[in-house]
Structure 1
């Protein structure tokens, strides 16, 4: 295949992502051409589709190589994805310290996902010294960038009053924004708070949305909370969905 294309034939990252949503196989060819031509978005996207096997044969080790190439060019999402690879052992041996290094690079550049993933390591002491104050600062920054998962975790810190003054109203607002942003954990948090406040009908709307979007691990844990507050039928539905996802 001839990769020596004119500059105007290389699609932008936005165009490549739009094509990927419509036709993964066709997009894979365009992404490969862009990556070979040195386009950083194309290189990062090539790593992504190789990691997922989207429109191209899955190859985690090759995905890692392309993420590294894009990261060497300063691509923040590529740094974030290198962090993911090192954290989970995709195409390499799992290494939380290396993951933290790449997440920190992405976070330092202001990438919301980098801030969120780096905060997760800070909050759990994986690859870095545990530091909830810094984790909270990262979640706060990512939440203000519109990152729904970070909004939920910021809400949790505010609700529990850990490493910051307790702020139930502020927590509820961040849970609401997270829920409306599509995060299933935020939907559950918001629904649970509404239920505690006696707004049962509205609470059930959000708890059912969390049911349809949650993964098996989340659903099993959430079912325990639902049982504790007496929502036994809904708890059973959560467990049934968890079973369906793992069968």
Structure 2
């Protein structure tokens, strides 16, 4: 949100005066602006502030924006409010944006809307976006369109985004709006319309010579990556690769990631690794994770570990899970438990189960059962079995029965055997037979053997023999012993 507004401000400032060398003023022009600003010209204050902001001299840029604002200049209030917003002083930023809007700054209306949206006042944000949009502000149109999309009003959202895309003079916002429209077109299955929008936006941006280079490259990379993804899905791999490469060449993190993934799909692991590594070394966490996974698949565990660790330490839950698994496999159980715990708290399914297993292994049974329950609650039938077994070991047969039955209902053969066996032990023979039959029907040999014994005990020795023979044929351990018991019951000792 803040990034969108900052782009709008930069684009707006870029229209105030002639830009030289791709958006940079030469020293003579800078001196002229400084002299005029020091003489009290608010337009020159804005120009000088913009130049300093581009050079990342935020302190002096803010001074000039503040002076323009204090002089009652609406655009100065707007840009000063933007500086405050970007560093987190939202209440003060809102005050200046409201003053700027009252003084006639149309862009400030969108600024107020952005601040209200950030703090969750969506109705208020929409009201201000409407005010800005009605006065021709492309930023307000686009942000209002996205807000309408979020609330499910897609037809109205598309109309607002189309208005933003048709605006002239704010190319970055236009391009963003065209990308948003393309995304919506993809969602409704209109790939031809999406392609048209993306190609037109890219062509428009290519011709723009008054857009800050950093923002232009970022938006162009977004457009090319989305277009490349669209072409890849259609099987047009050659052009898709070309566009991914063009986007990645700008250093754009998402494009670098997508190119690496595309090269993996094209079975070019060496170059995929190169691009994932480039992104990872630039600090992009998803690239670090993809690099680690690629190395893991190739069995290069020692090389994979530091990249998993980098992403895990930065808070990526899936990286925590993989790091925990790698550590567990090499026997570093204490640290594995630590990472599994963090991933489990982020609700990573495998970590819920593995954490419980490690806790059980070291004897922390109460906590292990708690995590087995958490994992089972996600629908993991193996966790249901483990929760049932551990509850049973602690003497809670009712809880064990509950978890075994849930696993059985989920189609787990072991769950069918365990719930049937437990109910047979508790004398609930009809239920036991029902579950033994269901397990036998899906090929569980243990259920076949136990069903044979149960039927023989109830007097149906012939049927019992039949099921025990099936268990023998299925290779069940001790099934031959069970068959012997049934045959001796039918024909006497030594049968």
Q: Could you tell me the TM-score, scaled by structure 1's length?
A: 0.71
2:146 equivalent in structure 1: 84
Question: What residue number does 1:211 align with?
Answer: 285
Rg: which structure is higher? Answer: 2
What are the ranges of 5 or more consecutive residues in structure 1 without an aligned counterpart? none
1:155·1:174 contact (CA, 8 Å) conserved in 2?
Answer: no
More displaced, 146-155 or 186-195?
A: 186-195
- Asked if 1:123 corresponds to 2:205, the answer is no
Structure 2 residue 226 is the aligned partner of structure 1 residue 153:
yes
- Checking the alignment, whether the CA contact within 8 Å between 2:224 and 2:244 is kept in structure 1 is no
Report the counterpart of residue 192 of structure 1 in structure 2: 261
Q: CA RMSD in A?
A: 3.8
Per-residue deviation, 1:123: 0.9
**Are residues 96 and 244 of structure 1, via their aligned partners in 2, closer, same or farther at CA, if it must alter by over 3 Å?**
farther
2:100 to 34, 50, 58: 34
Partner Cα separation in structure 1 for residue 235 and residue 196 of structure 2: 10
Q: CA deviation at 1:165?
A: 7.9
1:96 equivalent to 2:165? Answer no
C-alpha contact 1:143 1:154 (8 A) present in aligned 2: no
Q: Does 1:139 align with 2:198?
A: yes
- Gap change, CA 1:163 and 1:140, over 3 Å in 2: farther
1:45 partnered with 2:111: yes
Equivalent residues in 2 for 1:60-79 (5 A)?
60-79=122-141
> 1:59 and 2:130 equivalent?
no
- 1:17 corresponds to 2:96: no
Q: TM-score, normalised by structure 2?
A: 0.38
Secondary structure of the 2:270 match is coil
* Contact kept? 1:175, 1:186, Cα under 8 Å: yes
Alpha carbons of 1:24 and 1:203: their partners in 2 closer, same or farther (altered >3 Å)?
A: same
- SS of the counterpart of 1:198? helix
The ranges of structure 1 where at least 4 consecutive aligned residues each deviate by more than 6 angstroms after the TM superposition are none
CA contact (8 A) 1:172 1:190 kept: yes
Q: Flag structure 2 segments of 5+ consecutive residues without an equivalent.
A: 1-68, 206-215, 322-342, 348-495
Per-residue CA deviation, residues 101-160 of structure 1 (Å, 9 max, x unaligned), is 1111112225111111111111111xxxx42122112223334533132221122234x2
Aligned twin of 2:297: 230
* Alignment coverage as a number of residue pairs: 220
The Cα shift of 1:212 comes to: 5.5
187 and 64 in structure 1: CA distance in 2 versus 1, 3 angstrom threshold:
same
Q: Deviations over 1:62-113 (max 9, x none)?
A: 0110000000001111111111111112xxxx21111111111112225111
Distance 2:190 2:233 in 1: 16
Q: Matches of 1:21 and 1:82 in 2, distance apart?
A: 20
Distance 2:160 2:345 in 1: 31
Compared CA separation, residues 189 and 107, structure 1 to 2 (3 A): same
Give the direction of change, closer, same or farther, for the CA distance of 1:202–1:188 in structure 2 (3 Å limit): closer
Q: Give the SS at the match of 2:130.
A: helix
Describe the shift of the 1:246–1:71 C-alpha distance in structure 2 as closer, same or farther (beyond 3 A): farther
Deviation at 1:169, TM superposition (A): 4.5
Matches of 2:294 and 2:84, distance apart in 1: 44
